[in-house]
């Protein structure tokens, strides 16, 4: 496996030296997409938030700033990402407003109806069995809760297709595919937006 392939494959589950490099770049690399996505959360005031696939923890911090009365539980499959996210949010963890856990979205370690909002930035590409994972998200949301997905790929762009071929287990979904999976998983009121001039997508679903 070439060095480039080894490096970009770290997006799935960062490990080792290359994984540390990848996690370090996640916070800045995904910031613009995440900030654009969060503009679609107007009108909700969640008290309990699940940040799924939290990466380096930057988006967790932004959610804590955006909702100063909320508690955020961040989760990631990668031990390296969890370490980075904990360091990035150490003050909020100390204050009791933030928890960062290692876990799998296919078996979320949360009670039914635990959250008002769940977010997934640049992560559902790697979720194993997306409809099942979405059903898990639906389970841990309260009635009336919101689930928001933000991806840099809309499933049709050349870059997304390129990385699908390079990174094992990666799948770039279209808005229609995400909407279908969300509906089958129990969500309703699915809304979407497409960033002008880029293949970025936002899909927001209600329970």
Contact present, 96 and 74 (Cβ < 8 Å): no
169 falls in which pLDDT band (50, 70, 90)?
A: confident
Tell me the average pLDDT across 43-51: 96
pLDDT over 70, % of the chain: 86
In CATH, what number is assigned to the domain containing residue 179?
A: 3.40.50.150
Residues in the chain: 207
E strand residue ranges, 44-197:
48-52, 71-76, 98-102, 115-121, 141-151, 188-194
Instruction: Indicate the number of domains in the chain.
Output: 1
1 falls in which pLDDT band (50, 70, 90)?
A: very low
Segment holding 30, helix H or strand E: none
Q: What is the DSSP string of 163-185?
A: HHHHSTT--PPPHHHHHHHHHHT
pLDDT over 90, % of the chain: 74
The domain of 60 spans 3-206
Return the SS3 of 126: helix
pTM of the complete model: 0.89
């Amino acid at each position: 496996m070439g060095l480039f392939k080894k490096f970009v494959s770290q997006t799935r589950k960062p490990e080792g030296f290359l994984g540390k490099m990848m996690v370090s770049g996640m916070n800045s690399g995904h910031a613009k997409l995440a900030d654009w996505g969060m503009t679609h959360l107007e009108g909700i005031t969640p008290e309990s938030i699940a940040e799924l696939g939290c990466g380096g923890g930057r988006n967790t911090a932004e959610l804590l700033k955006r909702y100063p009365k909320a508690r955020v539980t961040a989760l990631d499959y990668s031990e390296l990402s969890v370490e980075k996210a904990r360091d990035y949010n150490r003050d909020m963890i100390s204050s009791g407003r933030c928890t960062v856990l290692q876990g799998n979205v296919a078996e979320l370690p949360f009670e039914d109806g635990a959250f008002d909002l769940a977010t997934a930035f640049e992560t559902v590409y790697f979720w194993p069995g997306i409809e099942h994972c979405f059903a898990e998200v639906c389970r841990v949301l309260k009635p009336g809760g919101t689930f928001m997905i933000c991806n840099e790929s809309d499933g049709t762009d050349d870059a997304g297709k390129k990385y699908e071929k390079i990174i094992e287990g990666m799948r770039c979904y279209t808005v229609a595919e995400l909407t279908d999976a969300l509906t089958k998983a129990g969500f309703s009121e699915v809304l979407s937006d497409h960033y002008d001039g880029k293949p970025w997508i936002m899909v927001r679903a209600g329970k």
